[in-house]
């Protein structure tokens, strides 16, 4: 059995090497590559993805997984080797069911789709994007059809990003959110608007970057195992726990983009820097799901970075960095500005309260598209109608509506719910951390985050991808995934802020 | 036959993709990677190299090459497909003869060797490096033994870098050089020393970098298909003709390091940016050999960048960039300074005249090591004795002698002769270019290099790796590789400079 286990581990380690090399190709493309490199890079990425896929679904891997699943069936769920086999077998089963030609077709369609989407968004021209969207929806429906056992075809897509999560659970989650969020938004927008002009002054880029580096260093991001660069669309990526990179973007006239964006990506990075060394070169050295990953980024961005305590420590430093803008602005005004609730067209600019209405809108459209109840050509109309319902206003152009996000052009259908799952899980984890470590929030006032990071390392990061996200949440908090801690957090924080 | 050709091309294209991905991993490691990434990166690089090797020596590739070599045997040597099959078959035969375990052993030994060499150099401690060197020499002897048909085992190693070149040809080349260079160095060092203090003033780094970028842009380096970064040991690398990157290094108190180094790497880059598009993703989209590659870098660095005409154009600009250092220095003084001949310990700092004595020394030692006539433990003594013979002085410490170059620690034995071949070929190509394009040198005085680049593109770059280096030289110049143009160039230029 040990020989089989070693054989499997070596094979999975090579898959991991190739996937990490492909991740570096992508980082380089988005951060460093000169424009002329695009054609060659597309070939290189496609070849590495093909090799990783072939190595993962090799019949010998299937045989090893079968045999080892039987051998290890009596081990506890916590056991490293049993977890490795369980996680790898789940991935193997999924990948194996999708024919290689369909995978290739999808890569091709989404590479093209991303390009056409970018053109269409620039020109505000949905009809230009439509054929690409139709093709991608069709391919995704065929991918879903590879899993005929699912209740909704959307289940099959969701599982790529949030393993084990089902469409009806997502529907119930959004229903519960809607019940609280819609009245909360209504109540807030009835209050006098918050002045956030302090955030919209002239903030030289270099000083913003320097300040953001200081924050993420203080959070515990290890620059010996990472670096921060500029990117058009900020992201976090990693090639091992020893090399976890974040990117950010800076707007000279809007402070939160760089500051809050850096904290967000740092949250992802702290997770990726936190897997145990013994998981290296294995499928366990990853986050449990996109939702759990997002819980880490949202936790640091919102529950820490938009908290009163955090700014008690950092605001005087921010004033010292930008005295010309902030000397006359007191911390309360700033705290209210950075937490302003304001219905916006663009999801990535949304505040904590309205954010989930954006993901709800996309989720409802995605399910309808995949279940065949909505034709891609009718997407703009459906989008605009839903937007009117949830935000009470009209969408002036598709660029601010259906064309705003890259996901559908890139084939990422089933992804949006993970953003909201992330918000929920962040609040649920944070509530548990505060219960375990009383006074945790007071640490922030001293610029001290080690106790929070330590709690996350021990309770969340240490498990890597061992457990399904729902199991992890239950293991960490003793409760199933729930919207309650999140809604309680929102009502308390924004009730106070808006004196509701 | 077309189906076989397509099959072969697809297979070679995938090998190319993987090798280019591995090249990006290396660039990133040297330019961007945080220190913590080293362990994971070593695994990723090893896995990609293994995959490329396996894909290249796959039995099916051998079958296709056999069959297509027969099918295409009547095609002219210029034919693209026949060239592809010829080049791929030569590579296949070489790779196939070295057992996979020996390849793996070599990668492992050289990865470790590089690290130990760096430590040994830092501590000036040859005995620390000795066991690694012994292991690498032993492995290289075993690699050479895979090619029992060669006259000298060194032939087998040389062929990795300079295909088709034989040890006895290299020996003859160095003999001819020695006959002229030793008396030339003697005559020059008998003349009054040249004052190069103007190069050793305080040159702020940012302005040096900006100036070097202007030069390489003027040479024709396309930044849409490349970029320049900083690296400890400057190099040029490429991942396609659309993405060819150079690196440089800047010393605040010594101007030539950045300026001449940037021109050198730019010469490599212009070659890599110049292969025809139809060679993309094939083994033809490469330089003919390391020697031919070096001919391009040395041509731009020395025959252009250290020429009188070049500085007639650029020196006033350089004075304007650094008025505090150069306003009182006239162009003749600067031209003499940048061409100062001065025996040095370190090869990479050597002038045009003494440079080849450095490579000669290493070449003679390498042949003796590989043929078993010199034991690694005796290398420092042998080095110092040879240095005394060729340079007339003693080596004060191994850091300035046997430990100075990274090559042996990295397993690059057989590489050094290519530096000298590069010098010879540069002069031979340049003489032909001047014969074809009278007045070419006058272009430089106008800062105009398009005619030279055009000539190189058409006569050298357009062929990629189609021809063996010796065949390429003959095809381009109508003459076999010869030391005469190079020696004539040196005698004329330095005879004038030193009034011999």
Mean pLDDT of chain B: 96
- pLDDT tens column, B440-493: 999 999 999 999 999 999 999 999 999 999 999 999 999 999 999 999 999 999
Residue of B nearest to A223 (CA): B34
DSSP letter for B75, please.
Answer: S
Please report which residue ranges of B190-299 form alpha helices under DSSP H.
Answer: 205-219, 255-272, 290-298
Q: Cα-flanking dihedrals φ and ψ of residue A196, to 5°?
A: -115, 25
Q: Do A224 and B280 touch (CB under 8 A)?
A: no
Q: What whole-number distance in Å separates Cα of residue A439 and Cα of residue A441?
A: 5
Q: What is the pLDDT of residue B108?
A: 86
Computed on alpha carbons and rounded to an integer, the radius of gyration of chain A in Å comes to 23
- pLDDT tens column, A224-275: 999 999 998 899 999 999 999 999 999 999 999 999 999 999 999 999 999 9
Residue B496 in this model has a pLDDT that exceeds 90 = yes
CB B239 within 8 A of CB A37: yes
Interface test with B, best of A44, A107, A221 (most B CBs within 10 A): A44
Q: Do B24 and A20 touch (CB under 8 A)?
A: no
Which residues of chain A make contact with B216, given a CB cutoff of 8 A?
none
- In sign, the C-alpha dihedral spanning A93, A94, A97, A103 is negative
Q: Residues of A near B (CB-CB distance < 8 A)? A: 13-14, 17-18, 20-22, 24-25, 28, 32-41, 43-44, 46-48, 50-51, 222-227, 239-243, 245, 280-281
Angstroms from A254 CA to nearest CA on chain B: 29
DSSP letter for B421, please.
Answer: H
Q: What is the pLDDT of residue B100?
A: 86
Q: Do B25 and A28 touch (CB under 8 A)?
A: no
Q: What whole-number distance in Å separates Cα of residue B486 and Cα of residue A98?
A: 62
- In sign, the C-alpha dihedral spanning A422, A424, A426, A432 is negative
Q: What is the pLDDT of residue B104?
A: 86
Mean pLDDT of chain A: 96
Q: What is the pLDDT of residue A100?
A: 86
Residue of A nearest to B17 (CA): A44
Q: Which of B25, B36, B40 sits opposite A224 (nearest CB)?
A: B36
Residue A134 in this model has a pLDDT that exceeds 90 = yes
Q: Which of B18, B37, B50 sits opposite A239 (nearest CB)?
A: B37
Residue B111 in this model has a pLDDT that exceeds 90 = no
Q: What is the pLDDT of residue A107?
A: 86
Q: Which of B28, B227, B280 sits opposite A34 (nearest CB)?
A: B227
Q: Cα-flanking dihedrals φ and ψ of residue A88, to 5°?
A: -65, -40
Angstroms from A216 CA to nearest CA on chain B: 16
- pLDDT tens column, B334-373: 999 999 999 999 999 899 999 999 999 999 999 999 999 9
State the DSSP H helix or E strand holding residue B77, giving kind and residue range, or none if neither. Answer: none
Residue A108 in this model has a pLDDT that exceeds 90 = no
Which residues of chain B make contact with A41, given a CB cutoff of 8 A?
239-240, 243
Q: Which of B24, B36, B224 sits opposite A24 (nearest CB)?
A: B24
Note every long-range contact of A30-34, with CB atoms under 8 Å and residues 24 or more positions apart, other chains counting: A30/A231, A30/A232, A30/A233, A30/A235, A30/A247, A31/A229, A31/A230, A31/A231, A31/A247, A32/A229, A32/B32, A32/B227, A33/B243, A34/B223, A34/B224, A34/B225, A34/B226, A34/B227, A34/B242, A34/B243, A34/B245
Q: What is the pLDDT of residue A104?
A: 86
Residue of A nearest to B35 (CA): A224
Note every long-range contact of B345-353, with CB atoms under 8 Å and residues 24 or more positions apart, other chains counting: B345/B387, B345/B395, B345/B396, B345/B400, B345/B401, B345/B404, B346/B400, B346/B404, B347/B404, B347/B405, B352/B302, B352/B306, B352/B423, B352/B490, B352/B493, B352/B494, B353/B181, B353/B184, B353/B185, B353/B188, B353/B490, B353/B494
Please tell me the pTM assigned to this model.
0.95
What are the structure tokens assigned to A99, written together?
Answer: 């024919």
User: Mean of the pLDDT values across residues A90-99?
Assistant: 94
Q: What whole-number distance in Å separates Cα of residue B411 and Cα of residue B107?
A: 9
Q: What is the pLDDT of residue B377?
A: 98
Angstroms from B99 CA to nearest CA on chain A: 21
Which residues of chain A make contact with B28, given a CB cutoff of 8 A?
24, 28
Which residues of chain A make contact with B282, given a CB cutoff of 8 A?
none
User: Mean of the pLDDT values across residues B236-240?
Assistant: 98
Q: What whole-number distance in Å separates Cα of residue B274 and Cα of residue B224?
A: 14
Query: How would DSSP label each residue in B129-144?
Result: HHHHHHHHHHHHHHHH
User: Side-chain half-sphere of B30: how many Cα atoms within 13 Å?
Assistant: 20
- pLDDT tens column, A187-196: 999 999 999 9
User: Mean of the pLDDT values across residues A488-498?
Assistant: 97
Q: Do A239 and B41 touch (CB under 8 A)?
A: yes
Q: How far from the centroid of its chain's Cα atoms is residue A201's Cα?
A: 29
Q: What whole-number distance in Å separates Cα of residue B151 and Cα of residue B167?
A: 8
* Third-level CATH fold of B136-500: 1.10.1370
**Exposed, middle or buried: residue A455 (CB in 10 Å: 0-12, 13-18, 19+)?**
buried
Q: Where are the domains of chain B?
A: 2-97, 136-500
Q: Which of A24, A39, A225 sits opposite B28 (nearest CB)?
A: A24
- Of the candidate CATH numbers 3.40.50.1260, 3.10.20.90, 1.10.1370.30, 1.10.357.10, the domain formed by A153-500 belongs to 1.10.1370.30
CB B280 within 8 A of CB B244: no
Q: Do A243 and B36 touch (CB under 8 A)?
A: yes
The number of C-beta contacts closer than 8 angstroms across A and B is 135
Let me know if A265 is a catalytic residue: yes
- pLDDT tens column, B197-222: 999 999 999 999 999 999 999 999 99
């Amino acid at each position: 059995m040990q020989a089989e286990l070693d054989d499997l581990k070596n094979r999975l380690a090579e898959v991991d090497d190739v996937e990490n090399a492909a991740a570096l190709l992508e980082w380089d493309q988005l951060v460093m590559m000169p424009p002329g490199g695009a054609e060659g890079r597309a070939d290189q990425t496609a070849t590495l993805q093909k090799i990783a896929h072939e190595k993962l679904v090799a019949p010998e891997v299937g045989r090893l997984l079968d045999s080892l699943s039987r051998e290890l069936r009596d081990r506890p769920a916590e056991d490293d080797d049993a977890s490795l086999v369980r996680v790898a077998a789940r991935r193997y089963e999924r990948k194996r069911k999708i024919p290689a030609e369909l995978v290739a077709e999808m890569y091709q369609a989404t590479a093209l789709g991303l390009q056409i989407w970018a053109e269409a968004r620039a020109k505000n021209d949905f009809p230009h994007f439509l054929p690409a969207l139709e093709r991608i929806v069709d391919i995704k429906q065929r991918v879903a059809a590879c899993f005929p056992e699912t209740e909704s075809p959307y289940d099959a897509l969701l599982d790529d990003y949030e393993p084990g999560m089902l469409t009806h659970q997502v529907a119930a989650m959004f229903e519960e959110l809607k019940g609280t969020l819609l009245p909360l938004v209504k109540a807030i927008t009835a209050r006098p608007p918050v002045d956030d002009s302090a955030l919209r002054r002239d903030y030289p880029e270099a000083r913003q970057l320097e300040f953001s580096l200081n924050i993420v260093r203080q959070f515990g991001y290890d620059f010996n195992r990472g670096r921060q660069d500029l990117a058009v669309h900020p992201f976090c990526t990693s090639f091992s726990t020893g090399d976890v990179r974040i990117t950010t973007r800076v707007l000279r006239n809007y402070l939160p983009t760089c500051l809050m964006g850096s904290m967000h990506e740092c949250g992802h990075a702290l997770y990726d820097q936190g897997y145990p060394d013994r998981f290296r070169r294995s499928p366990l050295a990853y986050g449990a799901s996109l939702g759990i990953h997002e819980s880490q980024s949202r936790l640091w961005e919102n529950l820490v970075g938009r908290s009163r305590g955090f700014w008690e420590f950092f605001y005087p430093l921010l004033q010292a960095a930008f005295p010309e803008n902030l000397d006359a602005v007191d911390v309360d005004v700033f705290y209210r500005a950075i937490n302003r609730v304001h219905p916006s067209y663009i999801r990535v600019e949304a505040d904590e309260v309205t954010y989930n209405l954006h993901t709800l809108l996309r989720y409802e459209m995605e399910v309808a598209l995949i279940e065949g109840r909505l034709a891609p050509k009718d997407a703009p109309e459906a989008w605009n109608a839903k937007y009117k319902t949830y935000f009470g206003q009209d969408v002036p152009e598709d660029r601010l509506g259906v064309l705003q996000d890259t996901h559908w052009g890139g084939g990422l259908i089933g992804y949006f719910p993970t953003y909201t799952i992330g918000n929920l899980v962040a609040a649920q984890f944070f509530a548990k951390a505060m219960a375990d470590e009383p006074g945790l929030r007071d640490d922030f006032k001293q610029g001290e985050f080690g106790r929070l990071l330590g709690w996350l390392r021990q309770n969340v990061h240490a498990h890597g991808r061992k457990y399904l996200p729902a199991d992890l949440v239950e293991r960490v908090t003793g409760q199933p995934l729930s919207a309650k801690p999140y809604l309680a957090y929102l009502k308390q924080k924004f009730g106070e802020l808006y004196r509701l």
